[in-house]
Every structure is written in structure tokens, then in C-alpha cells.
Chains A and B, each alone.
Chain A
Amino acid sequence: MFQRKLIALGVLLALGLPSPSRAASDTELQQLRREIQLMKQAYEARIDALERRINLAENQADKARERAETVAAAPVPAQGENAFNPGISLILSGTYANLSQDPAGYAISGFVPSGGEVGPGERGFSLKESELVVSANIDPNWRGNFTLAVAPDNTVAVEEAYVQSLALGNGLTAKGGRFFSGVGYLNEQHPHSWDFVDAPLAYQAFFGNQLGEDGVQLKWLAPTDTYLEIGAELARGRSFPGSDRNKNGTGLSTLFAHLGGDVGASHAWRAGLSLVRTSPRDRAYDDMDSTGTAVTNAFSGDSKMWLADFVWKWAPQGNSKSTNLTLQGEYFRRTEDGSLTYDTAAASLGTATGAYASAQSGWYVQGVYQFMPHWRAGLRYDRLNGGSTGIGLVNSGALTAADFPLLGAYDPRKASLMVDYSPSEFSRLRFQLARDQSRQGLTDNQLFLQYIMSLGAHGAHKF
């Protein structure tokens, strides 16, 4: 604009200047004016063109700046050898327990001991398992996950160590290695994400807390808008209800299906049915016979277990930040058929073998309500049904029921109440009261204080 004014001024000056040639005629003057007019038009056209070019350049500069901003915004990946470090997280946990009964020699009455670390744990202050989790993608096809559990007695256990497929497609996922089985609802969850200090009695009695196996798993997610997952596992059978042994082939197999979905924006649910089959050989457990001698008995035969699980979650409009409610329940039914060998070490009345058959069940229901941000309260009721246990050696009169006190008829039960406070997503403090009647003739009133904290990679919000 400024330039245009300058030129106009120049033209005016030129016109206004006294002409050296007074003799110049009017026609000459008019011609001169026309030429000037033409020049003016030409200049204006060139100025317009220049302005257009400037505008264009400015636009391009804007775009370049935007691009530069975008490039600058892209996170710069870490350089050097540690650029491919996996995600690492560590769970720290500890408890204080006040128990009215001595926890030493704890065993659930009426049920073959599952061999896991069951029961309320130690009195007083004690460290819980510290869990180290390392996970990352291995290559485009596989992801690896490793969970190491360091127990308070300084023993280290590989809790999970598996590879999982990423690229099978069609809803298929394969897993291999050591992993928690996909049966039931709670089984796959690590102890730090439990809603109570301990696992439900049914999990303690039937799985020794959790069914973890060495093997392979194949899961298929149906291509439907309703969630339907079907899975199968073949495994070694190294842990209860199986038994580790020297054998080719597989020792344990599972089959499970889960169905789930939403009801409106506020409700979500999942239900499932699972089957676990194994054939333990010489699955040993310790008991005290009628003479008061510690004996080792062993079961060989077939073990079959059905699980039904259900979980229902509510949060107002699906926003679980302030308040939410979770109701869940699982039912277990196990039948075992085979032979029971009494006193395998011939430490008391002499080794003897007879038939053994049992049909036992158990269940729990729990509700956990977050009544305000950070604060939750929960109730759980556990019940086991001793059912029927037929011991051939007792039926034939060779031995008496008093020689198998742990297998005596009893229906264990337990009620737990907990309140926990989670100042952030990564820390939780818990208070729990329980009345535990899992041992015949004993009522254990329990009080727990617990902390669970996680550091490192962000944990997952599993359903």
C-alpha cells in the first residue's frame, strides 16, 4: 500500500514539475499523461502480483511452522543401548496380622491340603511377596512377560514367564510358558490386585490360591459385538490339583468360555464356565493318624473340576472415579476318583491302598463398593461344602475315619470385611477383619493391615 502511495506521489510530482519545453503542445501533454497513466497501471499490476506472492509466501511459512511444530511435538525416542528397555514394575506389599488362633500347621478341614501357601500367614508384621514384572514386545509376532515373586523368606519363585502371540489375527491369541490359567475370574489376577488380603477359601482349597501351570494356551475371541471368548490349555499339571511327574504328554487340560457385555452405560458384566481335568499320580499330603503319628498319604486317580464365575460392575454413567460397585461370585465343584494310599513311608500302621472318591464344592460371593473417591469397602462370604468322601480303607474296616482326620466331614466358612484407601492409582492401604471357621472346632478372629504399592510402568486396569 505504502509503495503504491509513493509511486502516485512521484507521478504527481512529475506532473507538477515545470516543463522545460514551454513550447510543448497540448497533444504532447496529453500523450505524456496517457503514458504516465499506462505506467501507473503497469506498476499497480506488478504491485498486486507482488502482494499476492507475499501472501502466498506467508501462508507457506505458516504451514511450514505448523509442520515444524508437529515434528517438534513428536516425542524423541531415547537413544543408545537402553532405548529398547522393557517396561518394568515392582509391587511392594506387607501386612500386620493379629490372629486369635495359632496359624502354625493351618489346614482347611474336610479337604485334601492343596499344598499352596494357604491360610492367614504369620502373626505380627510380615513382608508379603515382592513382585517384579518385566514385559515388552519381543518382535512383531511375540510379547514376553516375566513375573518374579520374591517371598519374605528370601526364596524366589517364577510366578509367570510366558510369551504371547501378537500377530495371529482372527481373534486368536496363543500363550506359552508358565502362566496363570484363564479359568474362572480371579485366577488370572495377581495377588496385588485382589480386593482382600487373602484369596477366597475356594481358591485356597481347590487351587492352592491360584492355578499356575507350565504349558500352552489358545484363546479365541468371537467376531461379535457381544464378548465371547473360548480358550483351552494343555499343561504339565505340576501344581495342585495335579501332581508333578516324569511323563511325556500333558498332565492337565482346561477348557473355558466367557461371555460378557454392557447393559446401558452404567453396567458391565462377564460370566464364564470352566473345566479343569487332571490325573495326579502319588499326590502326597501330610496328616496325623489315630495313633498320633505324622503320616504321608497319597492320591492317584482322576480329578475333574467345574467352575462358574460371574462379575457385575456398576458405576454411574460408567464413571468409576467417584463411586462404583463390583459384585462377583464363583462356584467350584470337584470330583476325584481313584485310590488313596495310607502312610506311604510306613511310619505308623503300615502302608495300605484302597479306593477313594469325593465330590466337593465351594463358593464365594463378594461386593466391593467405592463410596467416595479413594475409599472402598467390601464384604466377602466364603463357604466350602465337604460333600461326600468315600475312603475304601475305612469302608472295608482296615482303618478308621480317625486315621484320616483332615478328610473328616466339615463345611468350612469365613466372613471378611475390608476397607481400603488408595491415595493414588499406585498405592493402597487396607484394613481387614475376618471370622475364619475353616478349621473344625476353631474360630479364628483375624485383623489385617496391609499396604500394596507399585512403582515403575503403569499397571493395567483389567476388568
Chain B
Amino acid sequence: MCKHLFRLMLAVAALAAIPAHAALNLLACEPEWGALARELGGDRVSVYDATTAFQDVHHIQAKPSLLARARNADLLVCTGAQLEIGWLPILLQQSGNPKIRPGQPGWFEASAYVPMLEVPARLDRAEGDVHPGGNPHIQTDPRNIARVAGALAKRLAQVDPANADFYQARHQDFSARWQGAIVRWEKEAAPLTGTPVVVQHKGFPYLEAWLGLKQVAALEPKPGMEPTAAHLESVLAQLQRQPAKMVLRAAYNDGRASDWLAQRTRIAVVVLPYTVGGSDKARDLFGLFDDTLQKLLQAAK
């Protein structure tokens, strides 16, 4: 019986085995890094996004499909700063793929190339789900994308030296377009400077820092904890003294708390795409910021 089982397993394995891809296999923890890798790698990389814009990246399980993708990855591109602490370690431990272990060229942590904000002075779970390395939601500032792009282009060249010139050329092209876009976005966003905003999750410090938005309150009492009725009441009371222009939430956030607040304060709820794929227009990185700004400007009118 045992022999039969083993033979069956071998047969299944043989059937399921698919020839390895010629392109560099890249596993992106978040869609923004997948999109960036596609900009830089073109057809030389085969990118799989581990998560979508509608998922809370803190709360992902190391599901079988992710283990299978981690097994075959040549390069892992993640935000880092403990954003993926709940699931990435399992992928690394169980995928049997030493190429993507921390410290290897196949392991890329975007937050290492960006000046971090909100680095906690005190580490205590009583403060909620805080990240020791600082706020990991770095993708909402396009200047961070530019910083990561430079580092990622170099890493692609290191992991896949045969195509180093290709990645370098694509990075130059992307960089020129991106810098141009940043100039345009900053010009468009000028009226937003100083706008007071309420956020659902403390996920926008980089956007706020870039555009000069002023965060006056957060709907989550502590990072990662769902808004409670009592906390919402206190936010409401605060807003009556110190009004805000809009409530920001990401596409994946539950809408109930922000809608509740919007009804009582008559301030607009702005659902930002947050990452690539978070709205119809946010199809790539350029679309992500075009749409983000458009939504903010519309709400600010």
C-alpha cells in the first residue's frame, strides 16, 4: 500500500511539473512593487503579486498558492519594516528556497531605501500593532517610489546580470517619466497644502508629508484595532471643535466607520486606491497617483 501511495505521489508530481520559466520569477508582496518591477523589468521578468489592493497586507495567511510561488521565486520584493511579519516568515521557512532568504540578493526590502516616518520611540503592544521600523506604508509618496526604483533596478541587474543593461535603460526611461510626473502632480496638488484630514488607519503619513496634508484624527483607536463606538464619538467631538475637510481610507478598509462619521459631520469620504489595482484608474503606478490626486482635489473643492 505504502509503495502504491509513493508511486501515486510521484506520478502526481510528474504531471504537475511545469517547465521552468525563462524569465526572472519575481514575487511581489504588494501590488505597487509588482507594478514597479513590471516597469523596470518589462518582458524579462514574470511577476506574481502576493496580495491585492483589496486585502489588508497585515492580515494575510501563508496560503498554499503563496508557498508555491515563493518556492519558485528568484527575487522577492516586499515593503519590509515588519509589514509582512505575520506571513512572510512562514513562506521563507517552508518554501525550501534559500535564494529569497533575508540577506540574499533575492530578498529585497523596499523600506530599507526610504526615510521612514513614525518610528516609534517606545515599543509596546499596548500601543496597538506598531512596527518597530516605522510606518511601513511608504508607497503613498511618489518620491519613495523613485528611491525604491533606483535600488530595485540595481538589484534586478545583480540577480540577472545578463540583462543588466536592459534594466538600467528601462530605469532611466522610467525615472525621467516619473520625475516629470512628480513635477506635474506637485503643481496640481498645490491647493491641498494644509488641508486637515481624518484617516481610518494610520496608513497615510507619507502622502500627508508629501502633499502637506494635516492629519487631525484617526478612526482606529490604536493602529490595527477596529474603530470602536466610543472612539468614534470622541473623534466626532474633536471634529466639531477642529473641523476636517475629508476622511481618507484605503480601498481595502471597511467603510462603515468612515461612513458613520461622514453622515454626522458632512465631510467627504475619500476612498483612495492606496496601491495599484485599488481603483479602475489605478492600473499602474502613474494611474495610482493620478487617481489619488484627482480624488483628493475633488473632495477639497
Contacts and interface: CB of A to CB of B under 8 A. Distances in A.
B68 A221 contact: yes
Contact of A171 (B85, B97, B113, B254): B97
Interface string A54-88: 00000000000010011011110000000000000
Contact of A265 (B20, B52, B56): B52
For chain A, give the interface size range.
35 or more
A455 B65 contact: no
B114 A73 contact: yes
A173 interface: yes
A224 B18 contact: yes
A228 B12 contact: yes
A386 B37 CA distance: 58
B87 A260 contact: no
Contacts of B72: 223, 225
B96 A319 contact: no
Contact of A221 (B54, B55, B85, B95): B95
Contact of B55 (A75, A228, A318, A459): A318
Nearest to B64: A260
A373 interface: yes
Contacts of A229: 67
A228 B13 contact: yes
B63 A268 contact: yes
A102 to B, nearest CB: 40
Nearest to B19: A223
Given A173-B94, A255-B2, A319 B55 contact: yes
B147 A70 contact: yes
Contacts of A225: 18, 65, 68-69, 72
A322 interface: yes
A268 B62 CA distance: 11
B5 A255 contact: yes
Contact of A460 (B52, B55, B69, B87): B87
A72 B134 CA distance: 12
Interface stretch (B125-133, B210-218, B229-237, B264-272): B125-133
A277 B68 contact: no
Interface of A: 66, 69-70, 72-75, 143, 164, 166-173, 219-230, 255, 257-262, 265, 268-270, 273, 275, 277, 304, 313, 317-322, 373-374, 423-426, 455, 458-463
Interface of B: 1-2, 5-6, 9, 12-13, 16-18, 20, 51-52, 54-56, 59-65, 67-69, 71-72, 82, 85-87, 89-90, 93-99, 101, 111-116, 125, 128-129, 132-134, 147, 224-226, 252, 254
